[in-house]
Amino acid sequence: GENQNNRTQRVLAKADPFTVEGLKGVDARIYHLGSLLADDFPLELVKYLSTKGVLSVDAQGYLREVRGDKVFPVDWVDKREALKYITVLKVNEHESEVLTGEKNPYAAARILADWGVKEVLLTLGSNGSLIYAGGNFYEIPAFEPEEVVDATGCGDTYMTGYLYMRNKGASYMEAGTFAAAMCTIKLGASGPFSGTERDVLDIVNVASLA
């Protein structure tokens, strides 16, 4: 529809949850859990992966429950226990309010950090994003796209850019800015992100000269 943020899901089939046994042979520096539904990644798996590397989680799926073929909003049942093991957590302003009860994104980010998250990434749509880490806030501006074609997957794109840059040793601000520029490219085309690192850096550099 005209409002890219207003989307409806209908679930015709579900896969089994991921298991510790199924991921025992997988080794990486960073594990990112991009859940679609609340039971995709159980607490046991969250605890296990946190012992193997940096654990990153997008909270959106934990706030969705399937009943029949419909998806209903829910709170994350194990949030207080799970968040102790998560290094990087991404939420939007609605998800952070569900988790913490706080409308103010700054207050919500502080609560999530108090519950154990090391790097809180709070995306705010066209208002940019907010990163809270090490007791400091980093305000990341949004880069205006030439045209909004498809918002689906922007959260995943943001996380990809952020984790890519953090893995390279970038600061929170640098990683968030790179991630935001990636999202700008993603918004302008249907399907997954298909740009290059150079494309992303060009957006960042042009904005810095404005």
Within the chain, which residues score under 70 in pLDDT? 1-7, 209-210
Q: Examine residue 1 and state whether it is found in any structural domain, yes or no.
A: no
Q: Examine residue 131 and state whether it is found in any structural domain, yes or no.
A: no
Q: pLDDT for 60-75, tens place per residue?
A: 999 998 888 888 889 9
Sheet containing strand 88-92, edge to edge, reads 30-34, 54-58, 88-92, 119-123, 129-133, 136-140
95 and 33 part of one domain: yes
Q: Examine residue 154 and state whether it is found in any structural domain, yes or no.
A: yes
Q: Which of 168, 82, 98, 170 is nearest to 131 (CA)?
A: 170
- Range of 184's domain? 141-210
111 and 148 part of one domain: no
14 and 96 part of one domain: yes
Q: What are phi and psi of 42, to 5 degrees?
A: -70, 160
Query: For position 62, which CATH number holds?
Result: 3.40.1190.20
Q: What are phi and psi of 127, to 5 degrees?
A: -90, 5
- Whether the Cβ atoms of residue 198 and residue 176 lie closer than 8 Å to each other: no
Q: pLDDT for 50-59, tens place per residue?
A: 999 999 999 9
- Domain boundary at 95, 123, 151, which? 123
146 and 191 part of one domain: yes
Count the Cβ atoms, other than its own, within 10 Å of residue 166. Answer: 23
- Domain boundary at 54, 88, 123, which? 123
Q: Write down the pLDDT at residue 3.
A: 60
Q: Examine residue 2 and state whether it is found in any structural domain, yes or no.
A: no
Q: Examine residue 27 and state whether it is found in any structural domain, yes or no.
A: yes
180 and 95 part of one domain: no
- Domain boundary at 123, 150, 184, which? 123
87 and 165 part of one domain: no
65 and 28 part of one domain: yes
pTM of the shown model = 0.90
Q: Write down the pLDDT at residue 147.
A: 78
17 and 105 part of one domain: yes
Helix (H, G, I), strand (E, B) or coil at 208: helix
24 and 105 part of one domain: yes
